[in-house]
C-alpha cells in the first residue's frame, strides 16, 4: 500500500501568524495554491486556506485585508499525520474531519502537505477500473440560473458549505461558479453592505485575470452569466471514476458536472467524492 510520503508535496509554502492576509493571499496566487502552513519559531501553529481568508474578510468588514492578521483567520492546531500513513487512512481522516488537507510531520518537523488534489492524482494513476462515476457522484446538485444575481450563487455556497454552483438552462449545465471564480473581495459583497458603504468596490475575477472597479450599481447587477466559467468539461455516469479524476487533475478543476444521454444534468463529481472512493480502498 502506498504511503502518504509518496504523494505529499514536500515544498510547503509558509507564513507567519503576524503576517497580514494580503501577504498570504499573494503567496497563494504566486504559487497557485489554496492554503499555506503557519509557522512560528519553527513550530506549526496553524493552517490558512483561501476559504479562511474569505470568511475572515466577510466577518471583519470594518478592516482592510492588509490589516487582518493571519492569526485572526487561520485554523489553529492543524491535524497532522506521519509520513508512513496509508493513503486510504489519510482520505478517511479528511472526510471525518471535513478538511481538504493534512500536514505531514515527523518528530514535530514539517515534512510536507497532502491535499485532496494529491489524493485525486493518486486515484487517477493507480485506481483504473475500480469504480464508475455513478458509484460516488453527488446526485443532489446545487444549481442556479444564468440570470440570477451573483449574490444568489455566493449565498448558496455559504448556506450549503460548498465550493461550486452549477449554472443551468432547462436542466442542461451551461456554466459553473466557484469560490475561485469570484475571489476574496467579490465573495463578501452583498447589496446591503454596498448600500451602507456607498463607495466603489473592486470585483476580482481571477479566472480572467481582471480587476474591474465598477460602480456599486454595476456590482448589484452582476449575474451568474457574467462570472461563470462557460467552457465546461462534463462526464457521464458510466465513465470510469479514475478518468474523471484525471480530467480534474489535467484541467486543474475540483468538480465536473455529470450528464445523461440527453445532456441533462444528473449529478456532480468532485475531489471530495474521489476522496470517498479512496477511503474505501483496503490498507
Residues 162-172 have a mean pLDDT of: 91
- Distance (Å, whole) CA 143 – CA 229: 14
Q: Are 40 and 46 in contact (CB under 8 A)?
A: no
> Which residues contact residue 34 at a Cβ distance below 8 angstroms, ignoring those fewer than 6 apart?
28, 49, 50, 100, 115
- Residue 61's pLDDT is 59
DSSP H stretches of helix in the chain: 21-31, 50-59, 70-73, 87-97, 116-126, 133-136, 150-160, 184-187, 191-197, 216-220, 224-227, 241-251, 271-279
Among 15-19, 102-106, 148-152, 177-181, where is mean pLDDT lowest?
177-181
Among 49-58, 179-188, 222-231, 250-259, where is mean pLDDT lowest?
179-188
Beta bridge mates, 39: 44
Phi, psi of 2 (to 5 degrees): -70, 140
- Answer yes or no: is pLDDT of 152 > 60: yes
- Distance (Å, whole) CA 236 – CA 247: 12
Intra-chain end-to-end CA distance of the chain, in Å: 6
Is pLDDT larger for residue 155 or for residue 133? 133
Residues in the chain: 283
- Residue 201's pLDDT is 39
Q: Are 106 and 35 in contact (CB under 8 A)?
A: no
Percentage of the residues of the chain whose pLDDT score is greater than 70: 83
Percentage of the residues of the chain whose pLDDT score is greater than 90: 62
- Answer yes or no: is pLDDT of 182 > 80: no
- Answer yes or no: is pLDDT of 107 > 70: yes
Using alpha carbons, select from 232, 279, 281, 246 the residue that is nearest to residue 95: 279
- Residue 217's pLDDT is 56
- Answer yes or no: is pLDDT of 214 > 80: no
Residues 170-175 have a mean pLDDT of: 94
Neighbour tally for 101: CB within 10 Å: 24
C-alpha cell at 79: 491535524
pLDDT grade for 264, boundaries at 50, 70 and 90: very high
Q: Are 112 and 106 in contact (CB under 8 A)?
A: no
pLDDT grade for 230, boundaries at 50, 70 and 90: confident
Is pLDDT larger for residue 192 or for residue 69? 69
Using alpha carbons, select from 17, 16, 20 the residue that is nearest to residue 60: 20
Place of cell 443551468: 168
- Residue 186's pLDDT is 47
Which range, 5-14, 149-158, 173-182, 185-194, is most confident? 5-14
Would you give the distance in Å from CA 222 to the centre of its chain? 22
**pLDDT tens-digit map of 31-74:** 989 899 999 998 999 999 988 887 787 676 567 777 889 999 99
C-alpha cell at 100: 481538504
- Answer yes or no: is pLDDT of 196 > 70: no
- Distance (Å, whole) CA 56 – CA 45: 18
Residues 183-197 have a mean pLDDT of: 44
- Answer yes or no: is pLDDT of 222 > 80: no
Neighbour tally for 185: CB within 10 Å: 15
Q: Are 191 and 177 in contact (CB under 8 A)?
A: no
- The per-residue pLDDT of the chain, averaged, comes to 85
Residues 240-248 have a mean pLDDT of: 98
Q: Domains of the chain, with CATH numbers?
A: 4-126 (3.10.580.10), 134-279 (3.10.580.10)
Residues 7-19 have a mean pLDDT of: 96
Amino acid at each position: 500500500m502506498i504511503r502518504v510520503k509518496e504523494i505529499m508535496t514536500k515544498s510547503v509554502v509558509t507564513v507567519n501568524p503576524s503576517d497580514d492576509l494580503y501577504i498570504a493571499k499573494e503567496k497563494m496566487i504566486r504559487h497557485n495554491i489554496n492554503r499555506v502552513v503557519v509557522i512560528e519559531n519553527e513550530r506549526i501553529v496553524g493552517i490558512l486556506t483561501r476559504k479562511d481568508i474569505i470568511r475572515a474578510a466577510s466577518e471583519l468588514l470594518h478592516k482592510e485585508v492588509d490589516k487582518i492578521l493571519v492569526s485572526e483567520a487561520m485554523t489553529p492546531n492543524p491535524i497532522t499525520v506521519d509520513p508512513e500513513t496509508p493513503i486510504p487512512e489519510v482520505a478517511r481522516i479528511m472526510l471525518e474531519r471535513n478538511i481538504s488537507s493534512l500536514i505531514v510531520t515527523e518528530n514535530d518537523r514539517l515534512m510536507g502537505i497532502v491535499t485532496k488534489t494529491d489524493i485525486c492524482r493518486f486515484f487517477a494513476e493507480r485506481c483504473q477500473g475500480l469504480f464508475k462515476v455513478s458509484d460516488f457522484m453527488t446526485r443532489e446538485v446545487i444549481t442556479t440560473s444564468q440570470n440570477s444575481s451573483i449574490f444568489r450563487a455566493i449565498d448558496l455556497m455559504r448556506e450549503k458549505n460548498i465550493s461550486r454552483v452549477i449554472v443551468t438552462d432547462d436542466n442542461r449545465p451551461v456554466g459553473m461558479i466557484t469560490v475561485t471564480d469570484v475571489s476574496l473581495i467579490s465573495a463578501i459583497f452583498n447589496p446591503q453592505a454596498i448600500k451602507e458603504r456607498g463607495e466603489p468596490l473592486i470585483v476580482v475575477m481571477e479566472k480572467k485575470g481582471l480587476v474591474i472597479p465598477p460602480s456599486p450599481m454595476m456590482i448589484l447587477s452582476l449575474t451568474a452569466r457574467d462570472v461563470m466559467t462557460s467552457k465546461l468539461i462534463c462526464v457521464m455516469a458510466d465513465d470510469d471514476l479514475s478518468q474523471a479524476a484525471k480530467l480534474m487533475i489535467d484541467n486543474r478543476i475540483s468538480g465536473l458536472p455529470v450528464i445523461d444521454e440527453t445532456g441533462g444534468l444528473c449529478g456532480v463529481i468532485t475531489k471530495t467524492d474521489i476522496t470517498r472512493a479512496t477511503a474505501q480502498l483496503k490498507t
